[in-house]
Structure 1
């Protein structure tokens, strides 16, 4: 049981019950993004030649990583509710070491087949860790500490994305870069396993939970039963929409930078870095502004702001100065970071996407907290699994829709404007539904 006695934020963060868990999930998120961003950079700047090919390869990679969340989240949720979560964490982190050896082979061989296979296995490992990550928090934190704990988890996840982006994106393009990244993912996996041994034993388990190995049947039954928890399921739908938007933006930033802004990999890293910092900053602001309560009053406004900022980012990048665009990038030198930052008003697209990320971070944290506190303890991991399933479904759907857009030769900027329009529709839905789920 979590200790409900008052405790300072610093003492809570460095407590034996919270910090090892925080460190394990942080290193896992960092390692995923170290590998993924190294792979994306290889695809964008070495393993593909055209706009369409780059977009298709990167979108396929995003879909392959997310697919296991859709396939295995229900099974993972049942296992997490059945067994002590601390034991499962150690087994999952041990499996990560073996998976990263596979990823190293893919990086060293530069074979897309190996890279995609490794990415799928990484997705499987993350799918089994996901239900544990958020469902274990209420077992180690008091209800009054959950919003802050979620803010640390959500914010740190995107700081991990930031660091993975920086290390993976910058290192893999160096001489012997794939070798360095290969060693890095293995070492981080080893560190994650050693830290998992420090995670305190969690006592909650429910042997009555049946583990159904029929993936399709169990997925359908768990999703259907989760709808009975109306407030939690509303939070799941709202969270899933955020990841629909985030999946498109994160996966398409390399293509957006190279073909719309005509800038190089350093600018890609800058965009991904500031996007990650923005999410972390927004998550931290949510933890401070909302205190111990969960308030969804401003979420429709946050969605409206996200649409506005996305439209502005596309407008300054694509519409203004389009006469200066170079048609044949194969014979042109892409802009470096210093040149891009001096290219007004196109450089404002970086500021607008950063602001969008801040708004997104503030949007997501209260929703995760609502999911946790409105779900019974013995069903919490399965509700998180439902969240991961719907997140994965919308993220895979986003990949398919973007691939379809490329096949129909839609410009990426056009697809992003369509996304902003759909987000407005979701803002109206949220406004109409929020009062009954406040």
Structure 2
């Protein structure tokens, strides 16, 4: 898998996306931990603000993905990457100020801008990869991208969650997000010389392009099937990741270190699953193992739900990480989360590779924009369904159990599609 790093353009591109993913999650997790443990006063308020934050980050994907896909296919991707990374510097200057002031309104606005920046970067990132890697290395490149992205998420999660709770932690986190954004911008100049723009015959439209783009994407049936499979993964993952802070604080009665622990487990699990599937598939992409991977995700989640319902420990105070891991339930719950994420990592890499290889190069950016559009729609839907679940009195473990059952039903889709 690591042999793709020998590709000259891949190395700086890998660094650019790694720093971007790290910075996004550094800021987002600092915001979530700040809200959960300092700025909110109840489970309902915490759940609402955390879910709102998740929705605000995703909303720009719904608004801007069609435009982002057209732009990705119309202009030189190296030039676009530099402009987007420059925008990140400006956004993180605002984000640093928001962290220092601990202003919920400014934090949420910055999160929306971060989502907009990511919405424009996404189609470029995954459509540029097949341009700089030979097809035989595409599985390994996607595995390294997926695995390293979640390692970046892990590092950003740990630093953001732990750092913001330190004395003057908001000042240090504000400075860090600015420095990382500047480093990413500087690294973008190592991607090579800017070439001529691609042949794009249609005029770029700010509005009214989503439905034609969706119809065009559906004409590439193999690639579009992959898009739907990827979107389901992000629906599943959005529910899990957005609710970990609430789960830890109000169901496990633990502290912010346990939140970071679970996010760490999820990130490492995705990275491990991505590496394993890349090794197993080598150069041949198929989805024959996906029913088993989906079943593994569901069984792991159901085991986690069962552990959550058991009494963790008799403690008069909030559990720290050491006390949590001292219990057998804490160990088993951690193992369940890790396995769920590992199955998820193995699930996602072949789908991304199939989506890229089955889409014609001139339309690749737009296909990825459609992927981002559907991903974000399902992630927003997940936020709405979570809020509805809380509104009708469902507990978080009950919501997670329903998710596990829904995930099992997706197996039928992959079994029906035997030609993949």
The one of 293, 300, 303 aligned to 1:309: 300
The one of 111, 127, 148 aligned to 1:119: 111
1:350 maps to 2:334:
yes
Q: Please tell me the root mean square deviation across aligned C-alpha atoms, in Å.
A: 1.3
Q: Which residue of 1 aligns with 2:322?
A: 338
- Deviation, 1:277, is 0.5
Distance 1:102 1:431 in 2: 48
- Deviation, 1:286, is 1.2
Q: Which residue of 1 aligns with 2:90?
A: 98
Distance 1:357 1:221 in 2: 35
Distance 2:247 2:331 in 1: 13
- Deviation, 1:275, is 0.6
1:285 maps to 2:269:
no
Equivalent residues in 2 for 1:163-202, closer than 5 Å: 163-201=155-193
Q: Is the 8 A contact 1:312 1:352 kept in 2?
A: yes
Distance 1:325 1:80 in 2: 55
Distance 2:408 2:382 in 1: 17
SS of aligned partner of 1:63? helix
SS of aligned partner of 2:209? helix
Q: Is the 8 A contact 1:260 1:317 kept in 2?
A: yes
- Deviation, 1:202, is 5.9
Q: Is the 8 A contact 2:2 2:144 kept in 1?
A: no
Distance 2:402 2:159 in 1: 33
The one of 375, 382, 387 aligned to 2:366: 382
The one of 400, 406, 420 aligned to 1:416: 400
The one of 212, 215, 222 aligned to 1:224: 215
Q: Which residue of 1 aligns with 2:347?
A: 363
Q: Which residue of 1 aligns with 2:127?
A: 135
Change (3 A) 1:412 1:191: same
Distance 2:165 2:415 in 1: 45
Q: Which residue of 1 aligns with 2:415?
A: 431
Normalising by the residue count of structure 2, what TM-score does the alignment of the two structures yield? 0.97
The one of 269, 275, 283 aligned to 2:266: 275
Q: Is the 8 A contact 1:82 1:209 kept in 2?
A: no
Distance 2:97 2:6 in 1: 36
Q: Which residue of 1 aligns with 2:236?
A: 245
Distance 2:323 2:314 in 1: 15
Deviations 1:266-308 (A, max 9, x none): 1111110011000011111111110001110010111011111
SS of aligned partner of 1:147? helix
Normalising by the residue count of structure 1, what TM-score does the alignment of the two structures yield? 0.93
The one of 311, 320, 330 aligned to 1:321: 311
The one of 15, 21, 39 aligned to 1:23: 15
Q: Which residue of 1 aligns with 2:46?
A: 54
Q: Is the 8 A contact 1:64 1:120 kept in 2?
A: yes
SS of aligned partner of 2:205? coil
Distance 2:194 2:288 in 1: 35
- Deviation, 1:407, is 1.9
